[in-house]
Each structure stands twice: as C-alpha cells, then as structure tokens.
C-alpha cells in the first residue's frame, strides 16, 4: 500500500531580516491572533497589528490563499485606527479581528484597547468585499474599569438553529457570549451576556482569552477553544464542549470552565497544543489565540506561534484537526501541507518515532521522547515497554505495560502513559523538510499526545 504524502510546501525562512521592510513578503510573518474566513474566491486571514523590527502600521493585516499553504500579502483593511476606537480606548493598534459573511455583506469585528486595560471596545466595519473598502458601523460593545468583562477578542457565529451570537472577553472578567441582531450585527440584549469561562488569576500570566466556538453537527456539541496563560511565553490552547451554545462548557473530566473553586486551575480545560520542541529543528513558544476553519468535512486550527530562538517573531500556523470517536478534537503535530487522512499498512509504521505529551500543568516547552515500534508488535521507550497495533488502518493503538513515570534514561520530556490512541496522517515534516507519518490523540489520563516517525526500519 503506497502512502500519498503531501508535496513539499514553500520553505519559509525564519527570522529573515531581509523582509522587515518589505510587507509584500510577509506571508506567514507578523501574523498574530489570526482569524480565518473562507470565501468563493479563496481563504483570508485577518490579524492583529504587529511588526518585528520597526514601527507598526495600524489597520488590520490581510492575507489570502487558495490552498491554506501558500499565503500572499494583501495589505491593510483600514487606513488606521477608527476615530471612535481612538477616542474610547486610545488604541495604537487593532487586535484580533474576526470577519464573517452575512448574505452578500462582510462584517469585521475588531478590538481596540491598550495592554492591561479594560477600557476597551469591539467595533464593527462592513464591506461588500473581503478586501474592502470598509464602512465604519461604530461600536458593538464597550467596557471600562468596574464593568467586569473586557470588550476584546470577538468571534461571531451561528448556532444550530441559525441564531447569531458573539463570544468575547479576556482574563478581566472571563469569557462571555450574547445574541446578536442580524440586521445590525450588534447585541440584541442589554448587558454583557452569559459567562462561559474564567480563571481565578485576572492577570496576563493566568489569562483565559481568545475565545472561539465551533459547532460539530455529528456530535451535536459546541466546542469552546480558549488560550491560557501569557501570550509572550507559555500560551496554550484549551477546549471544552457544551450541549448549548451558551454553556455550560465542560472538559473531558467534567470540570466546568467557569469553576473558580477547583484546584489546580491549570487542570481545567483540555489542553490540545502548547509550546513544544521536537528533537530536530526549531521549537515553538506560546502557540495560541486560534480560530477554526470548517471546510466541508475538514477542520483546521489556525493560530500563531513564536519562534524559540527569538519570540518577538510571531508566525502563522495552520494544522489539520481530526476528531476522536468520543467527540474530541485532536491537532496535527505538523503544520498543514495538503495532507489527507488515508489508510496505512502496519509495516509502514515500524521504526523509530518521537513523542510529545502536553501536560496541562507544564509551562515549559514540551520535549520529545524517543520510542520504537518494532516489527513483532512491541513498543519500547527507554526502560518502558508495551505493545502496538494498527486499528482500522488509520489509528495507532499503544498499550504500555508499566505505570506512568517521569522521563528516564536521560531523556527530556514526559514518558508515555497507559493506553494511547493516535489518529495517523501522512505529513510534511517542517523541522526536517521531508515527508513523515504523524499521530495525534490522547492517553489514558487525557493528556494530548503527538507522535512523529523519524524513519522506518522495516
């Protein structure tokens, strides 16, 4: 059985000083808090105003693609800070834009604030094109000290019945949701809406922000994605789900995302991606503030991440998202290069692999641990041993025969735990610039697990 691997994607050079003053080459560079939109003419990314190595230009960055792999710079959506945003929030840049299509109209929801302040505003722009020009429709919601919520990080979506909602908020007061009037694009009720998620530390280091909700029709569940912790050093993405769009949102252990009494707080929410480093190539710091693209039957998570060598450089990452049988999202270990799910032969899996486990209480980069799939159906990782099988031609199932343990034999990282199920993908290895097989799933205690084949030894 031959494996159909993706073709080599463009090789984007990291920390490329030659592009600093050439916006036309900002393909995946300077992409922070990316929001994605699919149109009949392709895909668009709208992102926060940031810049490495120079004075930024405010106005919401816009990029487009035909395949989610090759990205080209479009320009700025707006000519600067809208007057109402400058007056209310004294903003010097615009944050976390989200663009939705309503009929033939495009609506852009942007955030205006300053770092660490709750004097914030979510504003609205409208256009008949995803590339503008945009007409200012004023304020959607505003907050100031004492209000509780923070009016930033909006996402607009429909529930299963077609009603429009806006989810928004940050570590100041948590994540809220309220219904919208479709005619105006603004709230249809008074107040700040329903609380969905919060944490006991209302600080940057203990943040919950960047909410994004997706409805999955097969599981009939709403999935709330949020980013935890500091966007500069240990951002990570969590997910919980609910029967109703306005919650309550519950993680895999039954913990409610708004529970302030449970300890430790870091255990709430299923962590699906955090900072990581494979054995070769660049490590990535603080991946987060995601959006999600549902493209037919395919799902993708879109987020930024900072290079390990210089965390001032944020890059656009897009990863294939798969779903477990019990209805939880899992994320590809490698950035998207065109791969699709397909059947595998067990012999293709024999060889040396590495494994990353995302401990929800770990703030450092998750480190790769080596393991080997042997031809006799056994698996080994240092002194740990177990068995493996290929189930349904697409799923790697591992069974470890000893209790959970910390790293052994001089290996950095977390050693595999118990019964682990990994969904397989034929991937592009961005670290080694070659094709590889990857796996993504969860272990017995609910930790997200990534695996990548280093080479086959059959």
3-class SS at 49?
coil
CB-based contacts of 452: which residues, under 8 Å, 6+ apart?
A: 278, 333, 334, 353, 354, 368, 427, 429, 436, 437, 438, 439
| Residues annotated as part of the active site | 33, 209
Nearest to 142 by CA among 200, 87, 101: 87
Using CB atoms within 10 Å of the CB of residue 174, give its burial: 0 to 12 exposed, 13 to 18 middle, 19+ buried.
buried
CA triple 302-308-310, angle to 5 deg:
105
Nearest to 305 by CA among 289, 328, 324, 327: 289
- Token output for 306: 């900072």
Distances (CA, A) of 430 to 143, 208, 241, 278, 335: 42, 29, 31, 11, 7
List the beta bridge partners of residue 242.
222
């Amino acid at each position: 059985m031959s494996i159909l691997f993706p073709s080599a994607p463009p090789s984007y050079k990291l920390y490329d000083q030659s592009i600093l003053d050439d916006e036309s080459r900002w393909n995946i560079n300077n992409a922070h808090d990316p929001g994605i939109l699919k149109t009949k003419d392709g895909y668009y990314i709208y992102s926060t105003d940031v810049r490495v190595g120079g004075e930024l230009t405010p106005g919401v960055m816009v990029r487009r693609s035909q395949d989610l792999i090759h990205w080209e710079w479009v320009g700025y959506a707006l000519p600067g800070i809208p007057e109402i945003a400058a007056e209310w929030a004294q903003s010097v840049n615009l944050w976390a834009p989200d663009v939705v299509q309503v009929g033939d109209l495009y609506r852009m929801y942007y955030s205006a604030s300053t770092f660490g302040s709750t004097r914030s505003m979510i504003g609205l722009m409208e256009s008949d094109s995803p590339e503008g020009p945009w007409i200012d429709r004023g304020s959607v919601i505003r907050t100031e000290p004492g209000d509780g919520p923070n009016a930033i990080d909006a996402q607009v979506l429909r529930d299963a019945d077609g009603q429009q909602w806006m989810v928004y908020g940050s570590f100041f007061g948590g994540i809220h949701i309220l219904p919208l009037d479709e005619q105006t694009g603004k709230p249809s009720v008074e107040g700040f809406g329903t609380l969905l998620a919060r944490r006991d530390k209302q600080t940057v280091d203990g943040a919950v922000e960047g909410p994004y909700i997706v409805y999955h029709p097969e599981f009939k569940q709403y999935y709330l994605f949020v980013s935890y912790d500091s966007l500069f050093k240990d951002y990570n993405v969590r997910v919980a789900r609910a029967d109703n769009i306005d919650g309550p949102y519950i993680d895999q252990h039954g913990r409610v995302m708004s529970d302030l009494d449970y300890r430790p707080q870091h255990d709430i929410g299923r962590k699906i991606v955090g900072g990581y480093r494979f054995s070769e190539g660049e490590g990535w710091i603080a991946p987060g503030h995601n959006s999600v693209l549902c493209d037919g039957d395919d799902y993708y998570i879109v987020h930024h991440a900072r290079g390990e060598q210089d965390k001032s450089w944020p890059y656009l990452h897009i990863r294939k998202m798969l779903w477990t049988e019990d209805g939880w999202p899992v994320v590809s270990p490698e950035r998207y290069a065109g791969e699709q799910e397909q059947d595998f032969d067990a012999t293709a899996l024999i060889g040396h692999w590495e494994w990353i486990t995302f401990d929800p209480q770990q703030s450092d980069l998750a480190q790769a641990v080596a393991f080997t799939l042997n031809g006799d159906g056994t698996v080994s990782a240092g002194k740990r041993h177990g068995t493996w099988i290929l189930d349904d031609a697409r799923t790697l199932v591992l069974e470890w025969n000893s209790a959970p343990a910390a790293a052994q034999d001089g290996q950095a990282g977390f050693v595999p735990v118990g019964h682990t199920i990994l969904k397989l993908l034929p991937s592009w290895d961005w670290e080694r610039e070659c094709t590889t097989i990857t796996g993504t799933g969860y272990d017995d205690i609910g930790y997200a697990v990534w695996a990548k084949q280093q080479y086959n030894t059959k």
